[in-house]
Structure formats: C-alpha cells, structure tokens
Amino acid sequence: MQQSVLGARESRARLFRWVAALCAGLCVSAGVATAAAAAPAILQDPAPAPEDATPRDGTPRAKPREVLVLRAEKVIVRPGQVLEGASVLIEDGLITQVGKIVTPPEGAREIRGKVVCAGFIDPWSIYGIDAESAADQRNSPSAATRDALDDYIDPRLRKDVLRAGVTSLRTQMGVLARVGGTGSALRLHPELSLEQTTLAGECCLSMALGVRADGNGSDPFERLADVDRLAGMITQGEAYAVEQIEYQHELKEWNKKLAERQKELEDGFKKAKKDREKELVDSKEKGKEFKEKEFKEDKPPKVPKFDPDKAILARVAEGEIPLVVEVHRASQLRALLAATEKFKRLRLVLAGATDALDVAPELARRQIPVMVWPQPVGATPPKEMERHDLALAGRLEAAGVRVLLGSGARQASATRDLPLLAELAIGHGLDREAAFHALTLGAARALDIDARVGTVERGKDADLLVLDGDPLTGTTRIQFVISGGDVVITPEDR
C-alpha cells in the first residue's frame, strides 16, 4: 500500500511539472485526470468481494430442495400473533407463504400438526467449541469463535439438541475470560458443518466480570478494576471509530481538492502555455537561465494504522454488535451501569446477573436484556451464582426487564435442556408468553439474526417446529423439526 501511494504521488508530481513546462499538450490533462481518478482506489479499502451465489446457509446443493407445506390448527407467526387454521409454504429453504389459503406446487410434501412455531434459540451456549477454546483465558477482542468451531462432536448430541426444538444458538469461546472474543450464531443441521450453517460469524463481543474458570469469584477491588478496564476498552474503541470517520472525511476533502486542481490546470492550459513561451523568450534575450516552476500538491491524509482489537471495540462502541457481559454481584452491576451510561450507542446484554433485581429499574429504563440461566434442581452452581433464584426470570419480567433464557455456557450438552429450563422458569413465575418470546424473537433480536430467524414470516429461513400442542407445556411433544428448510427430525426420531 505504501509503495503504491508513493508511486502515485511521484507520478502526479511529474504530471504537474509537465503542465508547468507546457510541453505535454493534452497528455498533461489526461494524465492528471488519470491520477485523480486513481487516487481514491489507491487510498481507500478495497471493495468487499461479492457474495457467493449459493443459498444463504452456504449449503452446496446438487439438486433442488424438497418443497414443504405445513398445515396446522394454529400457526404462531410471532409472540402474540397467531393464525388459526393456517399453512406455511417452504421453498428452497425459505418461508414463501403464510396464511389460511396457501396453494403449494405439485409434488410438495405435506406435514400436518396442531401447532407450528419458530425454532428455539439458545443465546448462551458453548456448543460446537472444543474444550480448550471454551476455557481459554487469554483471548483478545478480535479472537473469533468461528475459528474454534469443532465439527467432530458427538452427532447424537446434535440430534438431541434438535429433538428438544433448539434450531439455533450463540456459541462462545473463552466464555469465562475477561475478554472472550466474538461469538458466533449458528443453525443446527445434522448433515452440514457448523461453518456452513453460520448465521452470523461475529454476533457479539463477550466479556466476564468477577467470574473465574475455577468457579471462585475475584475480590471486591479486582471486581471494580474489571469494570474500569471494560470502560477503558470501549473508550479506545470509540476513539478508533472517530479516527476512522475523520480519515474518511479528510480523504473525501483531499479528493475534492485534487479534482478542483485538475480542472484549474485544464482551464488555464492555453494561458499558461503563452506565459511560459514569453518567459522563455525573455530569458534568452536577457541571457538568463530559464527555470521551470515547481508545483506542489497537498499531501494525502495519513491512513490510520489498522488494529484488529480496536476495530472490534469500535463496532461495539458504535452499536454494530452487542456487548454480552457475564456479571453477577450487585456492586459490579451498579458500577457497570454507571460506567457505560455515557456510551449512548452501546448495546449491552447481561448474562447471569444474579443480583439484577437490585438494579431492575435502571435495566428497564435502558432496555438492557438479561440472559437468565434457570439452573435445574440439584445442580451445583458456580460460586458467583450460589444465590441464583429460579424465580429471577419471572421477577425481572414483572419489573419490566427484557428477559432472555440460556443454557449457561458451562456444558455443551446443556443446550438440549433449554426448553426444560424454560419450563422451570415458567413454573417459578415467568409468564409463558414471555418465555416463548425469550426463546424465539427475543434471542434473535439480541443476536441481530431476527431478519432470518425467530418468527414464521415470509422471507425468513425455515427453522420451524411442528408440535402436538402449545409450546413450552409439559405435555406437548415436538413432532417435526425443520432446519434451513430440511426436515431433520420426524416422529420416528424420537
């Protein structure tokens, strides 16, 4: 890049000298125009490569996908919106029609059930990550979970997760590290690699405050120092974002001045030529040495040094991706909320938040979601979650806090228990509709994948469940699971 810029600069300098000498004729203006047109291409980042023409999940297809039509007594389009006696048409992995009158093409496979709804999403998991990466404590913000995905996991576990109705999840390396890196949102499919089914390669940045891999919490001074470090990192990201914006503005102004200079040289070409000829004659008559005039151009703005960690932090500070922070103690929660209040674009999501009721009014005011882990009876919780109450989700929801439900990111197999954990939360006060929202649209919005999954709407990816009753009730059974438009679980698989 540096050599290219220097080469372009020397070329433009020669062109300006040619204009001054007025010997290059029209070649001068053509040369300056070429340099001006080339400058943005040299200094700006290259344009992104066009997306591959394969389907959205990256799945290579040797033959067309099966066309499906789901007919149900009730289609839950989204939380709070239900269609009675409706159908869903699925073509090429996408939902193409939803309504009471749906006419499928000839040869479509028909599936009937009582209820059709969106597949469940686990926003707090370590599924698909090798054990070493999951426990890594040395990550930086740019460390990418997608680089740690491990397809060589027990295929039976993947089937078990799908049988439970969980079709998508957010998985995270370094989940207990101060900085865990970026998480990935995945769709589950028994026949495709995790890379092929990635919904978002960088769906969030993960951090943990006061939580350690050995299960013990840090001391009070270290807890507050963690908050200060987090705020300092976001400040760095904010400054990096400002630097990038200023550079783009300066580059635009420089290109504008370059174009103006080109026009000025072209417009004054004839007059400059006559003036030079007169000066040359005068010099010869007076016996003086003729010297060419030197023309200088403004230097282009300096390209900011790229820093991958600050680039991720800039995206967080600008609200492009959310910041997921596992934090539990009331003192740290208060400190965290106070330290992040100034970052107006920051999208904060809390995980665990055992003492969140102490700051519930502030969480509700700022619309900060909380991922709750409803631990099963008999489980041995980490030290930081010893006071965790199964009623926490219901109490937070009643206080106006946006509640999400996750499997806790301690064991990969816990994701298959997500619907049971949701039923535990319902049994301890969480509204059933709120629980369903948490496992579908709520989780999808928090991870920025709601344009693709989380509801049963036209244009969305077909990640759907066919049930024999209302979702999240003890007597309901999942009959069919559709992942990316493919039937991956049938009644025979149960």
CATH code for position 452: 3.20.20.140
Q: At residue 20, what is the residue type?
A: A
**DSSP summary character for residue 341:** T
3-state DSSP call for residue 81? strand
Top mean pLDDT of 263-272, 278-287, 363-372 is at: 363-372
Task: Give the number of domains in the chain.
Answer: 1
Nearest to 235 by CA among 349, 343, 327, 337: 343
User: Locate tokens 């690699």: which residue?
Assistant: 193
**pLDDT at res. 176:** 87
CA 187/CA 170 separation, integer angstroms = 9
CB atoms within 10 A of CB 150: 15
| Neighbouring C-alpha atoms within 13 Å toward the C-beta of 86 | 19
Residue 344 lies in a domain: yes
3-state DSSP call for residue 437? helix
What average pLDDT does this structure show over 134-139?
A: 88
Top mean pLDDT of 83-92, 262-271, 369-378 is at: 83-92
Residue 212 lies in a domain: yes
Q: Which two tokens stand for residue 263?
A: 């026009």
3-state DSSP call for residue 239? helix
Looking only at the bridges linking them, the beta strands covering 486-489 and 68-78 are unpaired
Phi and psi (nearest 5°) for 175? -65, -25
- Give 378 or 283, the one with higher predicted confidence: 283
| Rg of the chain, C-alpha, whole Å | 30
CA 442/CA 123 separation, integer angstroms = 10
Range of the domain at 161: 117-240+307-493
CA 390/CA 420 separation, integer angstroms = 13
CA 120/CA 444 separation, integer angstroms = 9
pLDDT per position as a tens digit, 13-28? 443 343 344 333 333 3
CA 19/CA 111 separation, integer angstroms = 76
CA 212/CA 197 separation, integer angstroms = 31
| pLDDT, mean over the chain | 83
- CA dist 160 to 155, 157, 217, 282, 465, Å? 9, 5, 33, 94, 14
**pLDDT at res. 316:** 97
End-to-end CA distance of the chain: 58
3-state DSSP call for residue 308? helix
This model's pTM is above 0.75: yes
Residue 47 lies in a domain: no
Lowest mean pLDDT segment, chosen from 122-126, 234-238, 271-275, 433-437: 271-275
Residue 227 lies in a domain: yes
What average pLDDT does this structure show over 198-209?
A: 95
pLDDT per position as a tens digit, 232-275? 999 999 999 999 888 888 888 888 887 877 776 666 666 666 66
Beta bridge partners of 110: 69
Q: How buried is residue 262: exposed, middle or buried, by Cβ count under 10 Å (0-12/13-18/19+)?
A: buried
Convert 380-426 into a string of H (helix), E (strand) and C (coil): CCCHHHCCCCCCHHHHHHHCCCCEEECCCCCCHHHHHHHHHHHHHHH
Residue 101 lies in a domain: no
Lowest mean pLDDT segment, chosen from 67-71, 109-113, 181-185, 265-269: 265-269
Residue 412 lies in a domain: yes
**DSSP summary character for residue 172:** -
CB atoms within 10 A of CB 390: 18
Residue 36 lies in a domain: no
Lowest mean pLDDT segment, chosen from 26-30, 168-172, 345-349: 26-30
- CA dist 381 to 81, 135, 136, 299, 481, Å? 37, 17, 20, 61, 31
| Neighbouring C-alpha atoms within 13 Å toward the C-beta of 426 | 19
Helix (H) or strand (E) holding 263: helix 220-267
Residue 424 lies in a domain: yes
CA 407/CA 324 separation, integer angstroms = 15
